[in-house]
Chains A and B, each alone.
Chain A
Amino acid sequence: MNVVVCVKQIPDPAAPPALDPGSNNLVRDGKLILDDSDAYGVEMALQLADAAGGGEVTLVSMAPNGEVSGLRTALAMGAAKAILVSDPILAGTDALGTAKVLAAAIKRAEPDLILAATESSDGYTGTTPVQIAELLGLPSVTFAKKVEVTGSSVKVERQTEAGYDEVECPLPAVVTVTAGVVEPRYPSFKGIMAAKSKPVENLTVADLGIDAAQVGAAGARQEITNVAPAEARAAGEIVVDEGEGHLRVIEFLEQLKVL
């Protein structure tokens, strides 16, 4: 079974995020790393391909520059190869434009299953995987906390507001997985070394036959008109607990008439 995993390379979440003052786009100049949320999809894909008795895991990603360090991490985990759509005209692309690019790249891999995270950890839009499914005319099951493939269908436990649903879906399909669906493996030394020579196919927007007007800031057809600090909460009271901290909490709850 061939599985495509959509992965995103994002600015290191440990570093403070910033917006470019000119474009108001998130600054992505520095080193990009594999989005933590995507490690679950990569792991799930590796396990499903294994369980199916063979097949390849292909990574599909998009970046405004030729960044591959995040892809190397996922390749080191065990993915076979990667397709990276990298083009300066992609800067400022929105979720729909991203979906158009990724859908076109995914088509080349002819997968049985497409996995993605429920949302990225930098943009949090959370619509791209379903947009990909719709562009490819495929069914989708989002927020999977358990995924099993039997023959030509996938069985998913999908989170709901009240608990979870068991959902069955014919393949090919798009499934988004939550963090926690599986425990991602750490790349082994051998895996890290092997990843260096695994193929990464670099494509441009033109290679995919996508009109440049569909992507980038113009293709996004939306603009940020203002960015302002949120109303700050007044500074609170800080108490260092020396054995009596709980009493201050009780007093506070009494003031609020919660007690």
Chain B
Amino acid sequence: MTIAKIWVVAEVVDGAPTTTSLELVSHARSLAGTVEAVVWGDGATAAGTLGEYGATAVHDVGDLGGALPGAPVAASIAAAVAGGTGPDAVLLPATYDGRDIAGRLSVKLDRPVLTNVVDLTEADGALASQHAIFGGAEILTARFTSEGPGIFVIRAKSFPAEPSGGAPAAVVAAPAPDTGAANGARIVARHVEERTGPKLDEADVVVSGGRGLGEKDQYVLIEQLATLLHGAAGASRAIVDAGWVPYSHQVGQTGKTVKPTVYMACGISGATQHMVGMKNSKNIVAINKDQDAPIFQVADLGIVGDVHKVIPKLIEALQARS
């Protein structure tokens, strides 16, 4: 068995493939001779960019009529596999829709799925995936033991996105067969939360707050500090769950994966859930009053102190400089 053809489920927003989609296409080139993408909606408009990063064909499921992508996109891929034109592996980004598609595809093909993949390598004609477990303290390697396409759900920023200079990908219509009741959900309205400053997962500096802030009103300290550092404000799951800040600020397993030049964790203890999303930041500064907090084990600079004292002074000092 060799890995000849890989399909990447590529998400396209406003005509451009998401960075994670391009990361997967780029990495797939090192694993297989043929890399193709699967898109839906207006995704075919991104055939040029997807081609530039190495996809030679784009399988276009087409307009979903407001349906969530899970059922129709999985059905389209499964139909190709059943028809003998499918891939040897399917890579999906670890996003809301990516996981939905992976779950449905797994059942349609009766194939297991490996999620939370942080690296994917080829050995002896098969793919091996790596997974960060226990908050990233250990790396587990797994592989499938049966025939049929492997389904891998891969975390953002696992690979660099590197153009190959390829020609625009050929667009191939790949409409989904009827999926009946399974395709019943419809998007009736979309809401975009307003944001100022850089995007959380692209910012050079990320300042995140956690439970140690004590109360919702104190999050403003995080926002002020982030603004002064021209960065983005993040949050631990604990305070998102508590309703202090919107989910779009969450860094961690179920939130964003970030790799900024500097990550500042303020009042965050460093639960597994959080560490997985920020552990690979280039530099980590932690401010926490509990000197035994796990976050200090990954911090390049740890300040054992009260965030309510340290951050206001930091803000004041930065304001004095500007």
Question: Taking beta carbons and an 8 Å cutoff, which residues of A are in contact with B?
Answer: 17, 24, 94-96, 99, 118-119, 121, 124-131, 133-135, 137-143, 145, 158-170, 173, 178-180, 220-230, 233-234, 236-241, 243, 245-250, 252-253, 256, 258-259
With contacts A142-B96, A228-B138, A248-B301 known, is A168 near B185, CB below 8 A?
A: yes
- Report which of A139, A164, A168, A228 forms a contact with B183, defined as CB distance below 8 A: A139
Indicate the size class of the contact surface on chain B: 35 or more
The answer to whether A163 and B193 have CB atoms under 8 Å apart is yes
The answer to whether B115 and A127 have CB atoms under 8 Å apart is yes
Q: Is B248 an interface residue (CB 8 A)?
A: yes
A179 to B238, CA, bound (A): 9
The answer to whether A166 and B191 have CB atoms under 8 Å apart is yes
Total contacts A-B at CB 8 Å: 256
The answer to whether B114 and A222 have CB atoms under 8 Å apart is yes
- Report which of B96, B141, B145, B285 forms a contact with A160, defined as CB distance below 8 A: B96
With a cutoff of 8 Å between Cβ atoms, the chain A residues found around residue B1 in the complex are none
Instruction: Give the residues from 252 to 287 in chain B that come closer than 8 angstroms, CB to CB, to chain A.
Output: 253-254, 261-262, 264, 273, 279, 283-285, 287
Ranked nearest first, the 4 interchain pairs of A and B with the lowest CB-CB distance are A241-B305, A130-B103, A139-B184, A127-B103
Q: Is B299 an interface residue (CB 8 A)?
A: yes
A142 to B107, CA, bound (A): 17
Interface of B is mostly: mixed
The answer to whether B187 and A96 have CB atoms under 8 Å apart is no
With a cutoff of 8 Å between Cβ atoms, the chain A residues found around residue B220 in the complex are none
A-B pairs with beta carbons under 8 Å apart, 7 shown: A131-B104, A134-B108, A166-B188, A229-B138, A230-B136, A230-B139, A236-B301
Q: Residue among A118, A134, A158, A241 with the most chain B CB within 10 A?
A: A134
The answer to whether A236 and B302 have CB atoms under 8 Å apart is yes
Q: Is B180 an interface residue (CB 8 A)?
A: yes
- Distance to closest chain B CB from A92 (angstroms): 12
With a cutoff of 8 Å between Cβ atoms, the chain B residues found around residue A128 in the complex are 103
- Distance to closest chain B CB from A178 (angstroms): 7
With a cutoff of 8 Å between Cβ atoms, the chain B residues found around residue A118 in the complex are 254
B169-192: contact bitstring with A at CB < 8 Å (1 yes, 0 no)? 000000000001111111111111
In the complex, the chain B residue whose C-beta lies closest to that of A158 is B96
A168 to B145, CA, bound (A): 39
Segment at the interface with A among B38-46, B48-56, B211-219, B308-316: B308-316
The answer to whether B190 and A241 have CB atoms under 8 Å apart is no
- Distance to closest chain A CB from B172 (angstroms): 25
The answer to whether B95 and A245 have CB atoms under 8 Å apart is no
The answer to whether A95 and B141 have CB atoms under 8 Å apart is no
With a cutoff of 8 Å between Cβ atoms, the chain B residues found around residue A159 in the complex are 96, 247
With a cutoff of 8 Å between Cβ atoms, the chain A residues found around residue B139 in the complex are 227-230
A131 to B182, CA, bound (A): 11
With contacts A141-B68, A221-B145 known, is A134 near B314, CB below 8 A?
A: no
The answer to whether A253 and B302 have CB atoms under 8 Å apart is no
In the complex, the chain B residue whose C-beta lies closest to that of A131 is B103
In the complex, the chain B residue whose C-beta lies closest to that of A251 is B301
Q: Is B79 an interface residue (CB 8 A)?
A: no
In the complex, the chain B residue whose C-beta lies closest to that of A225 is B141
- Report which of A158, A160, A237 forms a contact with B301, defined as CB distance below 8 A: A237
The answer to whether A134 and B103 have CB atoms under 8 Å apart is yes
A42 to B52, CA, bound (A): 48
- Distance to closest chain A CB from B135 (angstroms): 9
Instruction: Give the residues from 219 to 247 in chain B that come closer than 8 angstroms, CB to CB, to chain A.
Output: 229, 237, 240-243, 247
With a cutoff of 8 Å between Cβ atoms, the chain B residues found around residue A24 in the complex are 140
- Distance to closest chain A CB from B91 (angstroms): 15
With A125-B115, A162-B192, A180-B241 given, name 6 new contacts (CB 8 A). Answer: A96-B112, A119-B254, A139-B182, A141-B185, A168-B188, A180-B240
